[in-house]
Structure 1
Amino acid sequence: MAEPVSNAQPNATSDAATPTKARKAALAAFVGTSIEYYDYYAYATASALVFGKLFFPDTGNPFIGTMAAFATFAVGFLVRPIGGIVFGHYGDRVGRKTALVTTLVLMGGATFLIGLLPTYETAGILSPICLVLLRLAQGFAVGGEWGGAALIAVEHAPPSRKTFYSSFAQLGSPGGTVLSSAAFSLAALLGGGDLLEWAWRVPFLFSAVLVIIGLVIRLKLEESPEFQRAQKRNTVVKSPLKVTVQGSWKLILMGVGTVAVGVGGFYMTGTLFLSYAVDQVGIAQQTILSAQLIAAASSIVSFPVLAALADRYGKRLAMFSGLIGTIVIAAPHYYMAHTESAVLITLMLIVTQTVSAGAWVTIPALLSEAFPVETRYTAMSLSFQLAGVLFGGLVPVAGAGLVAMAAGSPLPAIGLLIALALINLLGATLLIRAVAAKAAAPADISERTA
């Protein structure tokens, strides 16, 4: 039987969207995504620092090993859209909360097992194979995490403060960076020998503690009020993916472009910059890790402030300001490494995080406006995770390769970062116009699927 898909907007007067519930949902989104991103960024940091030496044969060129490690990092992005589809289906059919608990357990389990893996010297080819398999499990879980966390926050939020409350899901990125950078900074203090011998395992094993904390918080979370209303209206669809692809594929492509800098920019200015500064410029690992830790900590303060301003002055202004800022700071960001000054590098990273923040904190609110509640988990996850494949997985690998081919010049990385910002400008412009046109048109509730 055909099923209707409601395009009705959330009821702005619903007593379900109270400040108290919004704060609880925002906290759950922040804590959960911080843990998820901790796991993910721990892998990214280890890829830049140690995995090339531990899990791949010695070629005599350390940058080749680093590129191989980044390739396994990219593998995780390839399965993220599959995770988005699976957990999106589950979240749109059964509920956001249950899907989020599942992604947290799967991600944490895979990360913990990475900390127990034997190295190439011990297990040979079996070592990188197991690493790739666990990386796939990580990517699959993250594929369903972001969409659910963003929705649980945005769907609990009052209409006038959706950007602010949903930005706490985005705080998981700097929150996870702080945790993972702190863990690896402490491990690096022991020295390169201990870091390679055993200390790199500690951040991965520590994820088990974080998962327990996250589970306690998420199990107490209430289901999204907007999803509950969809259940009461009996408008939950049988095949969210089919409805999404048939009715919203153009919006999904626009959404992919809208998150280009938000997804790819972090890896360009964070993970690739770490590898560039250490391998090409020769800066100590501890210096860059500490600088990234401080910059990420500053974002935990600046992101909510910028999100609140976006609610007041407009998401469009915040998004476009962040993209223009990204273009402006692209070259200074990389060339600052050549000063070899810990203070200047730290300040540059803080500036980068702050001026580009508008392109990150506005993403959940912008995407949630584009899709109906009945397919929103699936559609938002697809937009975000397809962008992850293109801009988060492949771009840093391409950047690392181009930098190596350019004899260590940062120009290819700078050019890629600017290209991401231009793609983002196009995608966000088209999406904002499409949402505005949809809001101005008469509500269409006739969309159906078999």
Structure 2
Amino acid sequence: MPATPTPSPALRRVVLGALVGTALEWYDFFIYGTAAALVFNRLFFTEADPATGTIVAFATFGVGFVVRPFGGVLFGHLGDRIGRRSTLIITTVIMGVSTGLIGLLPTYPAIGVLAPVLLTLLRVCQGLGAGAEFGGAATLLAEHAPPGRRGYYASYAQTGVQIGLVLGTSAFLLVQLLPEEDFLAWGWRVPFLVSFALIGVALYVRLRVDESPVFQEMARSKEIVRLPIRDALARHPRNFLVGVGAHICDTAVVYTLATFSVAYATGRLGLSSRTALLGVILFGLTVIVLQPVYGHLSDRVGRRPLNLFSVVFVAVFAFPYFLLVDTGVTWLVWLAMMLMGAFGFAPQVAVQPVFYAELFGARVRYTGFAASRELGAALAGFSPLIGAALAARMGGAPWLVAAFLAGTAVISFAAFYASRESKETDIWT
């Protein structure tokens, strides 16, 4: 390991690059989920009744998760061979362009069945870009961070994701101030079209970031492997499986809250979409505030205790969460979302960037990180669709959805229990 730590200005640029880049890219990914809950069932799947249209819209939302592992393997391969920074530049362009193009799509009344087909294809492109975005940003942060502070600095990658959630939800909250006729005619397109402008912002910030010192050392000593995914599976099979299971619970939680809960609150409970979206924003803000706190705490007590605490809370709170939401009382709905965010979601995701970075050796870190995490996301990414189907089976009641959330917590608990404490890991090895 070099005798001198990463210079402070360079580290600040890396933190800013991860924060801004992940915020803007995940803004792209999250607004699709909000649109699926509020508008796509009426504009792209009009042949179906409203409930079926919502389920089909959530199915296209889940398609993005199916392809995320492929994006993780493809761009992870590039990240371990040509560099973390260069690969993130590529994913930024893919995410921004595919999201902007959704805002230009004709709807079902205009071009018929071609409209949902094109929508799904662009969702696939989003999924490919998202499959490598978080793994690359988190790897870059973890490899720049000084020893003993990796958890704190790496947590900013996940902070960016939550900022993306808040920005995307806020964008839809603003355009919903339009008369409904205008919102359905053109207003819903605005959050997607904004992505074209955000590409420039993200690229400006990321082009100023230095390449990972760990990757630079690998390139200098010619330690770059030919096929990273093969080496990741061969050298780290146990950790790869841990990585798959570790991402199931938090994926189910965030998309159940940010997508299914919006559809449930507006459709079943009759709450306004503004009330539901404000709840998601409060959830996101709660998580944003707590990310560096939990990241710092993980440097003190370790990654494993926080992960285990978080999934246990999800299992215990899943039914009380829906009891609070089912009251239909605005402040109780918001309280439920904030509590789940503060204790069931924030600890897991704050620790997640450094946890995954420490699961794999330097030569296959990007690929192992992105592929295992996104495979877990693929398994849980259909949570809004599953939630809608389970609620429909119960006549609209959410109790099977609560049981589903608790079940995902059990799976991730098993993964975290099988993991080893890694806060003393040598990130350069």
Q: Shorter chain as normaliser: what TM range?
A: over 0.9
Indicate the residue corresponding to 1:47 in structure 2: 36
Equivalent of residue 106 in structure 2, options 118, 124, 136? 118
Check whether the contact 1:273–1:334 (CA below 8 A) recurs between aligned residues.
no
Check whether the contact 2:13–2:208 (CA below 8 A) recurs between aligned residues.
no
Check whether the contact 2:11–2:145 (CA below 8 A) recurs between aligned residues.
yes
1:165 matched to 2:153: yes
- CA shift, 1:193, in A, is 2.5
SS in 2 for 1:403: helix
- CA shift, 1:16, in A, is 4.3
Which residue type is aligned with residue 142 of structure 2?
V
1:107 matched to 2:95: yes
Matched ranges for 1:9-408 at <5 A: 11=1, 14-59=3-48, 61-356=49-344, 357-392=346-381, 394-408=382-396
Question: Would the alpha carbon gap of residues 330 and 18 (structure 1) be closer, same or farther in structure 2, given more than 3 Å must change?
Answer: farther
Which residue type is aligned with residue 35 of structure 2?
A
Cα separation, 2, equivalents of 1:220 and 1:315 = 30
TM-score (norm 1): 0.91
Give 5+ residue unaligned stretches, structure 2. Answer: none
- CA shift, 1:347, in A, is 2.1
- CA shift, 1:429, in A, is 1.5
- CA shift, 1:431, in A, is 2.1
Check whether the contact 1:272–1:396 (CA below 8 A) recurs between aligned residues.
yes
Which residue type is aligned with residue 349 of structure 2?
W
Cα separation, 1, equivalents of 2:323 and 2:184 = 29
- CA shift, 1:299, in A, is 2.0
Give 5+ residue unaligned stretches, structure 1. Answer: 1-10, 446-450
Cα separation, 2, equivalents of 1:248 and 1:302 = 31
Deviations 1:138-192 (A, max 9, x none): 0011111111011011111012111111111111221011111110001111143
Supply the RMSD in Å over aligned alpha carbons.
1.8
Cα separation, 1, equivalents of 2:124 and 2:56 = 15
Deviations 1:29-82 (A, max 9, x none): 1111111110011000000000011001333x3111011101111111111111
Deviations 1:395-434 (A, max 9, x none): 332221111111011111101111111111110121226x
Give the percent of matched residue pairs that are identical in Structure 1 and Structure 2.
37
Check whether the contact 1:163–1:310 (CA below 8 A) recurs between aligned residues.
yes
Indicate the residue corresponding to 1:5 in structure 2: none
Cα separation, 2, equivalents of 1:320 and 1:175 = 25
SS in 1 for 2:236: helix
TM-score (norm 2): 0.95
Check whether the contact 1:24–1:221 (CA below 8 A) recurs between aligned residues.
yes
Check whether the contact 2:34–2:258 (CA below 8 A) recurs between aligned residues.
no
Check whether the contact 1:38–1:179 (CA below 8 A) recurs between aligned residues.
yes
- CA shift, 1:237, in A, is 0.7
Which residue type is aligned with residue 368 of structure 1?
A
Cα separation, 1, equivalents of 2:7 and 2:296 = 17
Check whether the contact 2:314–2:406 (CA below 8 A) recurs between aligned residues.
yes
Deviations 1:2-51 (A, max 9, x none): xxxxxxxxx3x542434443332122111111111100110000000000
- CA shift, 1:338, in A, is 2.4
